[in-house]
Chain A
Amino acid sequence: DQQVKQNSPSLSVQEGRISILNCDYTNSMFDYFLWYKKYPAEGPTFLISISSIKDKNEDGRFTVFLNKSAKHLSLHIVPSQPGDSAVYFCAVNNAGKSTFGDGTTLTVKP
């Protein structure tokens, strides 16, 4: 039973527009939710996180929204840039252990 799902394997957007990446989870006990970004042949790097007690966290062009009632997490990137093209993983934390989604490949076209 997959605890974290990213239902869209890929997303393509035009430069300057908004990118919205989605993540659904099953366990309401998760305390932190994170997004990582991964370029080919590299390890993921931490991007942004949100605590379960908040519903929004913003860092520059990146905003993460948490809807606890729907068990849904989303990452908004605006404006999108070609350098944002990468695989994005959501991760959920419980008691110091992380579970990752399958990732969404974002392509930002110039």
Chain B
Amino acid sequence: DGGITQSPKYLFRKEGQNVTLSCEQNLNHDAMYWYRQDPGQGLRLIYYSQIVNDFQKGDIAEGYSVSREKKESFPLTVTSAQKNPTAFYLCASSISRDPQNIQYFGAGTRLSVL
């Protein structure tokens, strides 16, 4: 059963703490993405990766970091430098050669600050 798995579903962060959100896909997709959604707003791109060992900053990369050591995995770290981390985080993947760039999303992780 192919798809994208995000974990955990809910995550709480203390002041000054780094937290890592997991994203795994078994769709054999080359490209992966991280988005942030705030209430009443659309999806804003944090980071994306078109291929293993390579990634680019999106529109709101400050305070976040990523790695792409394996094709299947694209973890997102929310660092202490991100002063307003409370949001719904979505991971997605797509086929690099698809001109439509149809993206397949995980169920999301809701991050809150304690």
Instruction: Decide whether A and B assemble into one complex.
Output: yes
Q: Which positions in A face B, CB cutoff 8 Å?
A: 4, 6, 9, 31-32, 34, 41-46, 49, 51, 89, 93, 96-103
Of all chain B residues, which has the CB nearest A5? B42
Asked if residues B99 and A98 are in contact (CB atoms below 8 Å), the reply is no
- The answer for the CA separation of A32 and B98 in the assembled complex, in Å, is 11
Pair count A-B, CB < 8 A: 62
Can you list 7 residue pairs at the A/B interface with Cβ under 8 Å? A4-B42, A32-B101, A43-B90, A43-B91, A44-B43, A97-B45, A103-B41
What 0/1 readout, one digit per residue, does chain B (84-108) give for beta carbons within 8 Å of chain A? Answer: 0000001110001001111111111
Interchain nearest-CB distance for B58 vs A (Å): 9
Interchain nearest-CB distance for B80 vs A (Å): 27
Of all chain B residues, which has the CB nearest A99? B45
8 closest residue pairs by CB, A with B: A43-B105, A102-B42, A100-B42, A100-B43, A32-B100, A46-B102, A93-B101, A44-B105
Given A43-B6, A102-B42, 12 other A-B residues pairs in contact with their CB atoms under 8 A: A31-B99, A41-B107, A46-B103, A49-B102, A96-B50, A96-B96, A96-B101, A97-B101, A98-B45, A98-B103, A100-B35, A102-B41
Of all chain B residues, which has the CB nearest A49? B100
- The answer for the CA separation of A102 and B107 in the assembled complex, in Å, is 18
B4 contacts partner chain A, Cβ-Cβ < 8 Å: yes
Interchain nearest-CB distance for A21 vs B (Å): 14
- The answer for the CA separation of A31 and B35 in the assembled complex, in Å, is 21
Interface residue ranges of B1-32 to A (CB < 8 Å): 4, 6, 31
Of all chain A residues, which has the CB nearest B38? A102
B48 contacts partner chain A, Cβ-Cβ < 8 Å: yes
Asked if residues B40 and A9 are in contact (CB atoms below 8 Å), the reply is yes
Q: From A32, A43, A100, give the contact of B99 (CB < 8 A).
A: A32
- The answer for the CA separation of A21 and B101 in the assembled complex, in Å, is 21
